[in-house]
Amino acid sequence: MRICMVTWEFPPRIVGGIARHCYGLSKALAKKGHEVHLVTLDFPGAPFYEEVDGVKVYRVKVELGHPNFIVWTLLFNHFMEKRIAMINRDVKLDLIHAHDWLTAPASISSKHYLGAPLISTVHSTEVGRAQGLRTPDSYLIDGFEWWLTYESKRVIVASNSMRYEIEEHFHVPSEKIDVIPNAIDIERFQRHVDRVQVRSKYGVGMDEKLILFIGRLVPQKGVEHMIKAVPDVVREHPEARFMIIGEGWSRGYLESLVASMSCGDKVRFVGFLPDQDLVDLTLSADVLVVPSSYEPFGIVALEGMAAGVPVVASNVGGLSEIIEHDKTGVLVYPRNPRSIAWGINRVLSDPAYSSRLIQNAKRKISEIYTWDAVAERTIKVYERSMGG
Amino acid sequence: MSMNGEQIPDEIYFLCMLHNIGATMPEKSLSVDEISIWTAMDPSEVEVNLQKLVKSKYISVNTAEGTKRYYVTTDGIRKVLSMYS
């Protein structure tokens, strides 16, 4: 099959899980002999065209700008659409696969003029991310999301909670939706790291307990609630050190929250880290916390599980489908600092319990969440959409 | 603009505009006057926002023919993307 993957995020343009999802899926599809043409946006230092693990990557140069984000989105979609048309001149594309609303206009137009089926993956929704539609921009984005699901022949989501969300909110017929979970490259986490060296690079000793948060610093990720849990954890485990990795528009607020706390010195903001450093730190941590209040899937929880780190996560969305409480991780109440602190303390206080969680989680990961399995299921969706 | 009860700081909204205009690399950097025209903001207001963003390394400065020109860094781009991703 000749597949055109359309996404606004692809490494090194990484913010959330979409970039890693598109990379993992495209690479697995190419490995199975499919021709994957991936159209994305440019990023400083990245080439406009390259082949990455068998995937043909086209980074579109956006030649026009506009201060309004929605207008800018329409502009870059115009350039993506032109690029897709140019690719189709050389290669007859069999289908378009769009990821989230940001590439909806280019993908929908391409579907119509190429006469190729459109498949979309809805990674999250505006109504979920913003916990309601409170601004004119939110209403517009919500409209784009509905339009994409309406125009798509099939809609892929990563969890049952997302299936219910789009059925309920966009009235997408149930028979049009496929649930295919996310996956990770397990090999990335199957290597030895010098924990002493990695931890000392970030000022954390081996006699301390390293508690990680990895993700975008935005309200839906619940970092604020984890920060408010710090005093309860430190009271029981004075050796606890929290490290917050990632970027986001809430960072200023979160830093001021930490600064106002008496145990603020126990928390460090690291910012964005390249993949290698991220893996090293995950492999060197004692606990990974995923305190989201909204999480359609939660790929970072899988990464923690693969790295052999006990995961403490909110009992919401995809996280409650990935993690079995007391078996493969600890589920806590969302938006509840006391519950988060309880989960962290439970893991830190009982090494035998912690290693049981780790063993169970590793087994589950290697059985279900592989890109090879995701690619197999995605190909079936493609075949179905092409009438096969 | 607010999301989920928290207010997006003015300088982040300003950073988003600068990103959308296309000032994301040194060769596309803009002066205070140019930014002021694009964003329809007063130059003094532009300077206040730029100062904060340069300090937090979301914006870089270069000087061409005696004029300071500004562009969004890769960390700044990631900050903007986090608003909508």
CA gap A58, A22 in Å, rounded? 13
Domain A2-183+370-386 - what CATH class? Answer: alpha beta
Could you give the percent of chain A with pLDDT greater than 90? 91
**ipTM score for this prediction:** 0.85
- CATH architecture label of A186-368: 3-Layer(aba) Sandwich (3.40)
Residue B76 within any structural domain of the chain: yes
Residue A388: predicted pLDDT:
61
Residues B82, A248: C-beta atoms closer than 8 Å = yes
- pTM over 0.90? The answer is no
CA distance B78 to A160: 29
Q: SS3 for B4?
A: coil
B72 within domain boundaries: yes
Q: Which residue has the higher pLDDT, A131 or A146?
A: A146
Q: Can you read off the two tokens belonging to residue A345?
A: 């303390």
Host domain of residue B66: 6-83
Do the domains A186-368 and A2-183+370-386 match in fold? yes
| Cα A172–chain centre separation | 23
Q: Is B46 on the interface with A (CB under 8 A)?
A: no
Q: How far is CA A217 from CA A15, A41, A249, A253, A271, in A?
A: 10, 22, 6, 10, 9
Name which of A68-72, A345-349, B76-80 the model is least confident about.
B76-80
State the pLDDT at residue A323.
Answer: 97
Q: CA-CA distance, A80 to A104, in Å (whole number)?
A: 11
Residue A44: which of B3, B17, B74 has the nearest Cβ?
Answer: B74
Q: What is the mean pLDDT of chain A?
A: 95
Among B53, B59, B79, B81, the strongest candidate for a mutation testing the A interface, having the largest count of A CBs within 10 A, is B81
Is position B66 within any domain? yes
Give per-residue pLDDT as tens, B20-54. 999 999 999 999 999 999 999 999 999 999 999 99
Hey, where are the domains in chain A? 2-183+370-386, 186-368
Output the pLDDT for position B4.
Answer: 45
For residue B74, the chain A residue with the least C-alpha distance is A44
pLDDT at A219: 92
Cβ atoms within 10 Å, residue A105: 21
Alpha-carbon distance B78 to nearest alpha carbon in chain A (angstroms): 6
Do the domain assignments include residue B1?
no
Chain A nearest C-alpha distance from B65 (Å): 24
Q: How confident is the model over A138-181, as pLDDT tens digits? A: 999 999 999 999 999 999 999 999 999 999 999 999 999 999 99
CATH number at residue B19: 1.10.10.10
B37 touches chain A (CB under 8 A): no
Chosen from A13, A137, A249 to mutate, greatest number of chain B CBs within 10 A: A249
Neighbour-count burial for B19-28, b at 16+ CB within 10 Å, e otherwise: bbbbbbbeee
pLDDT band at B3 (very low <50, low <70, confident <90, very high): very low
Torsion sign over Cα A58, A59, A63, A67: positive
C-alpha span between B13 and B49 (Å, rounded):
10
Q: Tell me, what's the pLDDT at B6?
A: 62
Q: Does A250 touch chain B (CB under 8 A)?
A: yes
Question: In Å, how far are A89, A119, A146, A310 from A168, measured between CA atoms?
Answer: 39, 20, 11, 34
Distance of CA A233 to the CA centre of its chain: 27
- Residue type, position A321, single letter: E
Cross-strand partners of B30: B70
**Residues A286-299 pLDDT 10s:** 999 999 999 999 99
CB contact under 8 A, A65 and B83: no
Q: Is A175 exposed, middle or buried, given 0-12, 13-18 or 19+ CB atoms closer than 10 A?
A: exposed
Beta-carbon separation of B77 and A216 below 8 A? no
